[in-house]
Copies of this chain bind each other. A is one copy, B any other.
Amino acid sequence: MDLELALRMCEAAVKQAGREGAKIAVAVVDDGGHLVAFQRMDGAAIAGPVLAPGKAYTSVANRVPTAVLADLTKPGGELAGLPGDRFVCLGGGLPLWSDQGENGRVAGGVGVSGGTVAQDVSCAEAAALVWRTR
């Protein structure tokens, strides 16, 4: 992950949010889950600085989209005990793989918060597309 790419990913997420009429915050983290770039749109909620980096970290830490964790952490789910202060198990976080296949290394993650879960996922995917076509 580098800053120039992370900024382009943020811009793609913000642009997608504009298309959907959502006001979001977006975070891009490196392979250690540490913040590289963050942008919060004007009028986006102050939960974004907590949730967007949290989703990005969580997707790197567990190597899955956070939407998958939202399922796995349902009552009776395999990871029902996971959510807490460290792991934000809501859709909108995506791991970024060093290769197209999932055999690769997780090179970073992106997290989006501020819209509906569907909007957050859509904006995160717009950012991930920039990553995959880098």
Taken residue by residue from 37 to 52, chain A's Cβ proximity to chain B (1 for < 8 Å, 0 otherwise) reads as 1111111011111100
CB of A125 within 8 Å of the partner chain: no
Question: Which A61-119 residues have C-beta < 8 A from chain B?
Answer: 61-63, 69-70, 73-76, 78-91, 105-106, 117
- Place the interface of chain A in its size category: 35 or more
- Give min CB distance, A61 to chain B, whole Å: 4
Chain A residues close to B by CB (< 8 Å): 2-3, 6-7, 14, 25, 30-43, 45-50, 53, 60-63, 69-70, 73-76, 78-91, 105-106, 117
Main secondary structure of the interface of A (DSSP, over half): loop
Apart from A25-B35, A35-B48, A81-B90, what are 11 other A-B pairs with CB-CB below 8 Å? A3-B42, A30-B46, A31-B32, A32-B33, A33-B46, A34-B48, A70-B80, A75-B75, A79-B117, A84-B84, A85-B85
Copies in the complex: 4
- Give min CB distance, A117 to chain B, whole Å: 5
Q: Is the CB of A3 within 8 A of B39?
A: yes
Q: Is the CB of B86 within 8 A of A50?
A: yes
Q: Is the CB of A81 within 8 A of B88?
A: yes
Inter-chain contacts of A79 with B (CB < 8 A): 90, 117
